[in-house]
Amino acid sequence: MGNSFLDKMTTVLGGFANWVNSLRYIIVIKNAFAALIPVIITGAFGTLFSAMVFNAETGLAKFAPLRFLADLQPISSGISYVTLSFLTIYVVFLMGIELSKLNNQNNVFAGIVAVMSYLSVNPTIFEFITEDQKSVMVSNALAKQYTDTKGLFLGMIVAVLAIELYSWLNRQDKLQIKMPDTVPPSVAKSFSALFPTVITVSVIATGGFIIKALTGLYAYDIIYNIVQKPLEGVVQGLPGILLLVFVAQVFWVIGIHGNQMVKPIREPLLLAAIAVNTEAFQAGKELPNIITMPFWDMYMSMGGSGVTIGLLVSIFLVGKRDDMKEITKLSIGPSIFNINEPVIFGMPIMLNPILAIPFIITPLVTGTIGYFATAMGFAARAVVMVPWPTPPLINGYLATAGNWGAVATQAICIVVSILLYLPFVKIANREQLVKD
């Protein structure tokens, strides 16, 4: 009966996963954010150098012989600004290109059309209050909230609408300007995109104008307050992030890449959260977010999904099965860099009722420990987007710009993961003895 239920669950969830992964816009979002990782990490290194090298209070510049390093801080500040403060623009551009590829047009110019369309629905006039409480209107300028992570969801929506329209218009022969054969192909291609570009940007800009005229609000205000902010609130809460991890783990257990399944929800929200923390850290302000992309990697994915570093250590300690020992020897190297597919599919954890239980439970427990340790101030909040293959303990130190409390919390989580996996490894030992 147990196997029958597991088979049914695998079939149902597998079908759902295939359906989700086949959705056009899910593919576009995943590809765009995957391509964006180098941008975020570049900004993160700018922050890391700013804090640990150029800062006169916390970095190497505090030592008298290296005081000159403080004068170089504008370099790292510039790097952080051009990466983290323009994330929405980069996402819109990349989504435009990715969606164009899916529409069989493979048009890099589509990225520019998407960016123009997005910018056309945002105001270039904004009001700010001076130190003496006077209101000043600034024109011909784009406020930062439209280019940084706060505009992500509106940007993604506009990119999809604009490029679907642009691609459709590109397929209409009547809108193509035919040039003589003597005209260079690059020039002819530019002219053929003229009418689709003009119509697309005009339609999107008109849509933004109508929304403002009917509601008194810009599209950004509506999408951010009704869609993005509530979603951020859910994921920033402990129950929300635990639910996301639980879903990912269940998919892993049935043989589907769990992180890929939650990526379209996880990446926009958690990458936005670390970008906000990084900017606040650069400005010397209080860090607003506990749960960020590095938080996931630091406390819920040590050794890979399921915190399987605890499983490998448990097998070294009490494992008696030769097959599990061999897989552990082969897996320990990749696991140090948080790569654990050999464990999941080789041990296997996939479709294994015994090991699946701690595999699902462990990241929920370690994530909870990490959350409360951070909330109480024992561990610092992450400010640097560290590459996910960075080994445990090292990633905690780097992500928090040198906080030993975060490292200690990670060490505690590793010990807890070992204790959680130990009894199930012993059960697996007994199961093999019964079979023999």
**Tokens standing for 269?**
């929200």
Amino acid at 416: V
Do residues 349 and 359 lie in contact, with contact meaning Cβ atoms separated by under 8 Å?
yes
**Tokens standing for 315?**
């097998």
Please tell me the distance from the alpha carbon of residue 420 to that of residue 359, in angstroms, as a whole number: 9
For 207-228, what is each residue's pLDDT tens digit?
999 999 999 888 988 888 888 8
Q: CA nearest 51: which of 277, 349, 326?
A: 277
- Dihedral of the CA atoms 269, 275, 278, 282 (nearest 10)? -140
Q: What pLDDT shows up at residue 323?
A: 82
> Which spans in 283-386 are helix H?
293-300, 309-318, 322-336, 341-346, 353-375
Report how far Cα 125 is from the mean position of its chain's Cα atoms: 31
Do residues 253 and 356 lie in contact, with contact meaning Cβ atoms separated by under 8 Å?
yes
Q: What pLDDT shows up at residue 141?
A: 80
Q: What pLDDT shows up at residue 186?
A: 65
Residues of the chain where predicted confidence (pLDDT) is lower than 50: 1, 436
Beta bridge partners of 127: 137
Please tell me the distance from the alpha carbon of residue 115 to that of residue 108, in angstroms, as a whole number: 12
Domain boundaries, the chain: 3-236, 238-433
Do residues 283 and 81 lie in contact, with contact meaning Cβ atoms separated by under 8 Å?
no
Tokens 């595999």 locate to 359
Please tell me the distance from the alpha carbon of residue 108 to that of residue 99, in angstroms, as a whole number: 10
b/e per residue 26-47 (b: at least 16 CB within 10 A): bbbbbbbbebbeebbbebbbbb
Q: What pLDDT shows up at residue 188?
A: 61
Please tell me the distance from the alpha carbon of residue 382 to that of residue 406, in angstroms, as a whole number: 9
Local structure of 136: helix, strand or coil: strand
Q: What pLDDT shows up at residue 327?
A: 86
Max Cα separation, the chain? 83
Please tell me the distance from the alpha carbon of residue 81 to that of residue 90, in angstroms, as a whole number: 13
Do residues 335 and 303 lie in contact, with contact meaning Cβ atoms separated by under 8 Å?
yes
